[in-house]
A and B are shown apart, each in its own frame.
Chain A
Amino acid sequence: MLSHLAVLQVVVPLLAAPTCLILERARAAWLFACLACLLSLGISIALFMQVQASGPISYALGGWEAPWGIEYRIDALSSFVLLLINLVAAAVIIGANSSLTAELPEPRHSPFYVLFLLCFAGLQGIVATGDAFNVFVFLEISSLATYALVALGRDRRALFAAYQYLIVGTIGATFYLIGIGFLYSLTGTLNMADMAQLLPGLEEQRLVAAAFAFIVIGIAMKLALFPLHGWLPDAYSQAPSMATAFLAASATKVALYLFIRMYFEVLGPEAVNALFPVGKLFLLLGAIAVILASLAAIRQNNVKRVFALSSVGQIGYLVIGVGLGNALGLQAALLHLFNHGLIKAALFIAVAAVVCRVGGSRLEDFRGLGRAMPWTMGGMVIGALSLIGVPLTAGFVSKWFLVLAAMEAGLWLLVALVLIGSFIALFYVWRIVEVAYFQTRDGAAVSEAPLMLLIPLWAMALANLYFGIDTSLTVGGSEQAVNFLMGSRP
């Protein structure tokens, strides 16, 4: 049983999805989905501890050994990302029932759980597998589920947002497929570790460059890296609130994981940068994303859109960390990947709680909520502080590492940029806090959000505080991942 954990991580939600379809009653489907997510969380914790203790786990699917068969590979990097996705999924699914009851008609509940679990399985599959083509399959499983999740939103604009996301997402995945086609025709293997061994010895480095270009652009579309981020604000603001909470905290993070895997392990930054200065390009795009998206967030009137645009900005930080190319920068990116996942989960669950009670997420809807929904707004403020990067929160730790990495690379402009970015974040968060705490609400009284939404909200908010104070798990986990990635190449 224990030796099958690597594959069970993906199989559990994948099999739970059709089961939810059979359990037509919304409540039964929800309880079953909760069970599956908690089981999956348990597996991911077990895998994380096993990898920390005894190194990477390799699982040959169907008994076919790598590089011929599909290999599932859980190493320091993937176990770290799996842990994040599972934490977020567990928090979101626990609150999902209360939020959905307020947002969607009952017959649409069990489809939501089916799609949620499929998306969850797909994202975990991308992280768990060691096979480049298998990644494409899981990428499409998670993406197709995501398009449908977005389309579940109650406004008709959700449909168009889902359609646009589908077009961009499909082009992105197909670009990735082209890149893998190049790499396969060069090396004759689809196993990523095997590819990494074979690629440096090849003569046709220009074809490698072309493959890398396709892969990067494909993943950048999924990652919503500036200037390919157009689909994200619409999709995130129209999807059901809990779907947004899950997607914002996990989907873009998995895309970044895939990128780090391809860039650092398969192709190798030195080899790539010799062909094309990708690192510098990322620094530039990341910097523009931080400034422009954060500035755009200030002008939004819908709180979901504010946080969605802030996600685009935060992806900028992640990409800057990767672009720096030093060990500290990569560690900062991984830390921020984890911490930002927790931050956005907390913020979007808080928004879901507000939508649940007030019915909308426009700025006016937040008027006076500081008094009417003290627990919800309290959780949101903690998440927001962490987003800004106030000391003693998780967001501070990752930004601190990013600043250290920029200093180590001698890029003082970048240090300033991180600080300016945090400053702008303070602005758009303050607008919400001001409306919630310093304006009074007129009209009908609003009660506090249901307990089942407050529990995951505060779990995420406290996680933000906890990982801001006791950093041994996040810093240790990311350090192991960095050592693994940097060590895999001489």
Chain B
Amino acid sequence: MADYYNYLIVVLLMVVGLYIVMAQGNLVKKLIGLNIFQTSVFIFYISTAKVSGGTAPIVIEGAELYSNPLPQVLILTAIVVGIATMSLALALVLRIKRAYGSVEEEVILEQDKPC
């Protein structure tokens, strides 16, 4: 069971994140859910990189076994992508708030109903 500890957390966070995206009507809260969902995937990648008994992938004396550095590099890229997405999304929410005066999905949809 302890072997799968990381993955249990990943699945839990993933589901919680997705649920928030679907269930919340507040645009900012949706983004928080989206962020949790993305972060769970980052943890998943990092967890797969761990080699049991291996140390951090830095060449040091006495170390023979290293963890796999590649997934960490990939996730570094993915984090940058995540930040870009989040800042764009927040900028959109800001403009939505200015245009509609609200960040609640229901209120926004109500305003755009064809008369």
Contacts and interface: CB of A to CB of B under 8 A. Distances in A.
B41 A147 contact: no
Interface in A137-177: 137, 140, 144, 147-148, 151, 156-157, 159-160, 162-163, 166-167, 170-171, 174, 177
B21 A167 contact: yes
Scoring A137, A160, A178 by chain B CB atoms within 10 A of each residue's CB, the highest score goes to A160
Contact of B81 (A137, A147, A148): A137
A400 interface: no
B13 interface: no
Contact of B85 (A137, A140, A160): A140
B89 A166 contact: yes
Given A159-B99, A181-B45, A170 B34 contact: yes
Scoring A167, A170, A184 by chain B CB atoms within 10 A of each residue's CB, the highest score goes to A170
B56 interface: no
Contacts of A159: 92, 95-96, 99
A352 B100 CA distance: 27
Contacts of B99: 156, 159
Interface string A178-215: 10010011000000000000000000000000000000
B92 A167 contact: no
Interface in A235-268: none
B41 to A, nearest CB: 6
Given A136-B78, A148-B88, A167-B30, A181 B95 contact: no
Interface residues of B, number: 28
A177 B78 contact: yes
A185 B21 CA distance: 28
B109 to A, nearest CB: 8
A133 interface: yes
- Classify the interface of chain A: helix, strand, loop or mixed: helix
Contacts of A166: 85, 88-89, 92
Contact of A171 (B27, B37, B84): B37
Contacts of B21: 167, 171
A174 B37 contact: yes
A174 B27 contact: no
B16 interface: no
A170 B38 contact: yes
B16 to A, nearest CB: 14
A144 B81 CA distance: 9
A174 B87 CA distance: 17
Nearest to B77: A137
Interface in B23-55: 27, 30, 34, 37-38, 41, 44-45, 48
Scoring A147, A171, A174 by chain B CB atoms within 10 A of each residue's CB, the highest score goes to A174
Contact of A144 (B48, B71, B84, B95): B84
A433 to B, nearest CB: 25
A163 B85 contact: no
B71 A177 contact: no
Contact of B108 (A137, A160, A174): A160
A170 B92 contact: no
Given A167-B30, A178-B41, A181-B45, A162 B92 contact: yes
16 contacts: A136-B78, A147-B92, A156-B96, A156-B112, A159-B95, A159-B96, A159-B99, A163-B89, A163-B92, A166-B88, A167-B21, A174-B41, A178-B41, A181-B41, A181-B48, A181-B71
Given A159-B95, A163-B89, A167-B34, 8 more contacts: A136-B78, A144-B88, A148-B88, A156-B100, A162-B92, A167-B21, A171-B18, A181-B44
